[in-house]
Amino acid sequence: MTETATAAVAAPALTVVVPTFNEAANVRPLVAKLTAALAGIAYEVMFVDDNSPDGTYDVVRALSREDPRIRCIRRIGRRGLSSACIEGMMAGQGDVVAVIDGDLQHDETVLPKLFELVRSGQADLAVASRYVEGGSAASFSDARGKGSRLATELARKVLKVEFNDPMSGFFATRRSVVEAAAPKLSGDGFKILLDLAASHPGKLRIVEVPFVFGTRLHGDSKMDNRVVADFLGLLVSKATGGLVSIRFLTFAAVGVSGVVVHLLALRGLLAVPSLPFAAAQAGATLVAMTTNFTFNNLMTYRDRMLTGLAFMRGLIGFYLVCSVGAVANVGVATWMFEGDQQWWVAGIAGAAMGAVWNYVFSDLLVWRRKR
């Protein structure tokens, strides 16, 4: 029996979760590095791929035929790093679960140290940290470095997490820790470690291990403006005990931007000779709803993005939902104003009612969860 087959007989003590999207060129090099780093440890590698257009899952499947310790979850109609990590950790067999990026920027030689800290009971959560002595994020650009440090300070102050690198995406913990935190995990965004630490009901013993953050060789970075929005939304969500979701905050932010779009469109349409104000207002409203739908499709519901004919059906559904939301807005505001409330209180209440209506019914009817 080969060494690979022998290793596959024993149940894994460690599940290494690798969330991927368009990382086909990195899969084989990463597996080779993990094989060398984890020699002597019973492990499995769980790739969770969000249906990558570059065929990442095909590369993983080919490897799994060579080594049954390599597994793949291909997600259709679902997107997002945090939710991929949660799904992988819950699907694995190891009592210890670890998360590592698929872009080769995390030093896999640190994994055995993280595993041993958790396995031996020295830590509930072992974090590979860039911001302790011996660690480094020198490969970051100046802007990304400053942004990372600012985000770290915000996370520590707002959510009171008591370790140096809550923004790290490289860590290990016990499955039981994930299961205890699971009911409160948001599953949105990119910062699963911060979400996990802030959501766990007990006090975690956290140990940090220094590592040097590497440079991406293949593929494109997933860092974009959506990541910033997700992070700020996660802070608000956790600070309010989950009362306000990340998705609702993004939806509301898009709604605010829609007001600006509406006013700009209205101004442009009023410049058209002989066009009545009512027609200009209706046109501006249609423009604002269309841009709101487009931005929500790209950002708020990126994990359920509508394309092709589904995009057009969704747009029509969004028009209908927002039209009813506008009626609800006016109705609540009028009722409060006639009840001797100040005009601005009535206005805010109406706007809030409209926003909640639009969000709830857009979520239910326009961007329905795929079953």
pLDDT at 5: 46
pLDDT per residue as tens digits for the range 33-66: 999 999 999 999 999 999 999 999 999 999 999 9
Specify the DSSP class assigned to residue 184.
G
pLDDT at 134: 92
36-43 long-range contacts (CB < 8 A, ≥24 apart) are 37/108, 37/109, 37/111, 37/112, 38/14, 38/111, 38/112, 41/13, 41/14, 41/112, 41/115, 42/7, 42/10, 42/11, 42/12, 42/13, 42/14, 43/12, 43/13, 43/14, 43/15, 43/16, 43/69, 43/94
The residues, ordered by sequence, that sit 6+ positions from 219 with a Cβ below 8 Å of its Cβ are: 22, 23, 25, 26, 103
Rounded distance, CA 284 to CA 290, Å?
10
pLDDT at 13: 96
pLDDT at 263: 86
Using 50 as the pLDDT threshold, list the residues of the chain that sit under it: 1-3, 5-8, 221-224
pLDDT at 12: 95
Identify which of 281, 279, 305, 309 has the alpha carbon closest to the alpha carbon of residue 294: 305
Identify which of 12, 20, 5 has the alpha carbon closest to the alpha carbon of residue 44: 12
pLDDT at 247: 82
